[in-house]
């Protein structure tokens, strides 16, 4: 008899956290016949394996050579038997009632392929807990440009720990390209939106922010910032053709992915420099993505003023000027002048990961 649901836990050097993660799964109130737990260890070098050993044979433990998050998902998938799969990072944990809530939502909404929800953001350094929730229960899809903009805003609620998918989502995304040593959840997230994802308002998981997060890095760590931005660029290059194959309209794909790419390019250019042509192309890409129907006046402003500045100034000086402009909220004057229609927010707010 196949389990009703599999919880797939990926872990790497989570000695301090993995026990809490596994206990939170076991305390969801499902029997061994209903719940399968698969833990894939991407070559931990600390005490993670010895902690996991305490949970055998209740959990299925797969240990592999270190190769990154995508390789961990690929290695684990053949051992996953549930028709519903809840995903969890080894340093996060489920809140009480999480599995019951998402299973109920999937049963009541057979047309959706995935369920996401609000979560508690826990800062390990300060012990601060912040509730992050969508304003209301809503359905995400990518069928139209308007739907893609709504999906961009809801993407942040599909992080691992808050994402449960029907098996068919994983069948459409795995194998994940193993160059994604982190952010390998992005293909699963965008496929979920393409196939229909329901967001629940209530928070049902805990996302732990700590110094070893690979994605949520502080701006003071230049090497990690650069690595993160380069991974965003690589991820976008892989997601674009995947979404086209899933039948998502090209305009929707562009809306969903452009902002993450622009933010990554801006960060790289402002922190590490680059060519003036790169800065010009990046700013024009940002403009086209954010303002699909700009007024003639605003179009002229962007090309004549902003475009000229990117080509005239050294790249890092241009972005310092741009930051100065933004810090003083001078865009408000421009907005009133050109009656802009601002419809999007930044990728950093909408697409979290590790």
Task: Give the pLDDT confidence score for residue 346 in this predicted structure.
Answer: 38
Q: Could you say which DSSP state residue 89 is in?
A: E
Same domain, 25 and 164: yes
61-75, 142-156, 290-304, 314-328, range with the lowest pLDDT: 290-304
Question: For the residues 221-238, what does the mean pLDDT come to?
Answer: 91
Q: Among 183, 209, 235, give the residue marking a domain's end.
A: 209
Question: For the residues 226-253, what does the mean pLDDT come to?
Answer: 95
Task: Give the pLDDT confidence score for residue 248 in this predicted structure.
Answer: 97
Alpha helices in the chain (DSSP H): 18-26, 48-53, 69-76, 98-108, 145-154, 167-173, 185-195, 222-245, 250-272, 276-290, 296-300, 308-312, 315-327, 331-338, 347-350
Same domain, 191 and 259: no
Residue 50: which pLDDT band, with cuts at 50, 70 and 90?
Answer: very high
Same domain, 273 and 323: yes
| Within a domain: 72 | yes
| Within a domain: 267 | yes
Same domain, 47 and 190: yes
Burial (CB count within 10 angstroms: exposed 0-12, middle 13-18, buried 19+), residue 340: middle
Residue 95 token pair: 């809140």
Task: Give the pLDDT confidence score for residue 350 in this predicted structure.
Answer: 47
What pLDDT, in 10s, does the model give residues 168-177? 999 999 999 9
Same domain, 68 and 165: yes
Same domain, 201 and 250: no
Task: Give the pLDDT confidence score for residue 219 in this predicted structure.
Answer: 62
Q: Among 180, 209, 238, give the residue marking a domain's end.
A: 209
Question: For the residues 274-294, what does the mean pLDDT come to?
Answer: 88
Global pTM?
A: 0.86
Q: With H, G, I as helix, E, B as strand and everything else as coil, classify residue 247.
A: coil
| Within a domain: 217 | no
pLDDT averaged over the chain? 90
Question: For the residues 52-56, what does the mean pLDDT come to?
Answer: 97
63, β-bridge pairs: 41
| Within a domain: 328 | yes
**Sign of the CA dihedral 88, 93, 99, 102?**
negative
68: nearest Cα among 109, 123, 11, 119: 11
Residue 166 token pair: 């029907």
- Domain count for the chain, please give it: 2
Residue 352 above 50 pLDDT? no
Task: Give the pLDDT confidence score for residue 296 in this predicted structure.
Answer: 85
Q: Among 187, 209, 231, give the residue marking a domain's end.
A: 209
For every residue of 255-285, DSSP letters joined together read HHHHHHHHHHHHHHHHHH---HHHHHHHHHH
| Within a domain: 214 | no
Same domain, 86 and 159: yes
Residue 298: which pLDDT band, with cuts at 50, 70 and 90?
Answer: confident
Same domain, 101 and 233: no
Question: In angstroms, rounded to a whole number, what is the distance separating the alpha carbons of residues 9 and 79?
Answer: 12
Task: Give the pLDDT confidence score for residue 328 in this predicted structure.
Answer: 78
Alpha helices in 111-248 (DSSP H): 145-154, 167-173, 185-195, 222-245
39: nearest Cα among 16, 2, 64: 64
Is residue 3 a contact partner of residue 35, using CB atoms and an 8 Å limit? Answer: yes
Residue 333 above 80 pLDDT? no
Burial (CB count within 10 angstroms: exposed 0-12, middle 13-18, buried 19+), residue 279: buried
CATH code of the domain in which 187 resides: 3.90.550.10
| Within a domain: 327 | yes
Q: How far is CA 248 from CA 130, 189, 190, 239, 347, in A?
A: 34, 14, 10, 11, 19
Domain of 303 in residue numbering reads as 222-350
Same domain, 122 and 179: yes
55-59, 123-127, 300-304, range with the lowest pLDDT: 300-304
With tokens 């489920």, the residue in question is 94
| Within a domain: 294 | yes
Question: For the residues 231-254, what does the mean pLDDT come to?
Answer: 96
Residue 340 above 50 pLDDT? no
Same domain, 282 and 199: no
Largest CA distance in the chain: 68
Task: Give the pLDDT confidence score for residue 302 in this predicted structure.
Answer: 87
Same domain, 239 and 284: yes
Question: For the residues 83-102, what does the mean pLDDT come to?
Answer: 98
Question: In angstroms, rounded to a whole number, what is the distance separating the alpha carbons of residues 220 and 242?
Answer: 34
Same domain, 174 and 288: no
Residue 337 above 60 pLDDT? no
Is residue 199 a contact partner of residue 162, using CB atoms and an 8 Å limit? Answer: no
7: nearest Cα among 69, 94, 133, 106: 94
Task: Give the pLDDT confidence score for residue 349 in this predicted structure.
Answer: 43
Q: What percent of the chain has pLDDT over 70?
A: 90
| Within a domain: 75 | yes
Task: Give the pLDDT confidence score for residue 341 in this predicted structure.
Answer: 43
Question: For the residues 80-108, what does the mean pLDDT come to?
Answer: 97
């Amino acid at each position: 008899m196949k389990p009703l649901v599999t919880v797939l836990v990926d872990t790497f050097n989570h000695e301090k956290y993995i026990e809490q993660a596994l206990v939170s799964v076991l305390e969801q109130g499902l029997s061994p016949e209903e719940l399968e737990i698969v833990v894939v260890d991407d070559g931990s070098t600390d005490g993670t394996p010895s902690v996991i050993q305490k949970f055998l044979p209740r959990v299925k433990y797969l240990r592999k050579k270190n190769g990154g998050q995508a390789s961990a998902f690929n290695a684990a998938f053949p051992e996953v038997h549930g028709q519903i799969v809840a995903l969890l990072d080894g340093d996060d944990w489920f809140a009480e009632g999480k599995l019951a809530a998402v299973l109920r939502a999937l049963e009541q909404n057979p047309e959706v392929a995935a369920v996401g929800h609000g979560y508690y953001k826990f800062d390990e350094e300060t012990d601060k807990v912040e509730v992050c929730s969508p304003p209301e229960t809503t359905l995400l899809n990518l069928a139209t440009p308007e739907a893609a903009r709504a999906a961009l805003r809801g993407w942040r609620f599909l992080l691992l720990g808050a994402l449960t998918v029907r098996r068919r989502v994983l069948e459409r995304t795995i194998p994940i390209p193993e160059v994604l040593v982190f952010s390998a959840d992005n293909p699963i997230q965008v496929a979920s939106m393409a196939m229909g994802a329901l967001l629940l308002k209530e928070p049902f998981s805990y996302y732990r922010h700590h110094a070893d997060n690979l994605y949520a890095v502080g701006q003071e760590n230049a090497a990690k910032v650069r690595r993160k931005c380069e991974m965003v660029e690589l991820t976008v290059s892989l997601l674009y053709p995947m979404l086209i194959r899933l039948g998502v309209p090209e305009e929707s794909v562009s809306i969903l992915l452009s902002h993450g790419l622009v933010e990554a390019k801006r960060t790289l250019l402002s922190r590490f420099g680059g060519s003036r042509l790169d800065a010009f192309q990046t700013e024009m890409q940002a403009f086209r993505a954010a303002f699909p129907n700009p007024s003639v006046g605003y179009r002229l402003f962007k090309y004549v003023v902003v475009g000229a500045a990117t080509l005239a100034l050294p790249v890092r000086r241009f972005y310092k000027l741009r930051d100065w402009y933004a810090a003083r909220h001078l865009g408000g004057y421009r907005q009133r002048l050109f009656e802009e229609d601002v419809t999007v927010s930044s990728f950093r707010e909408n697409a979290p990961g590790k």
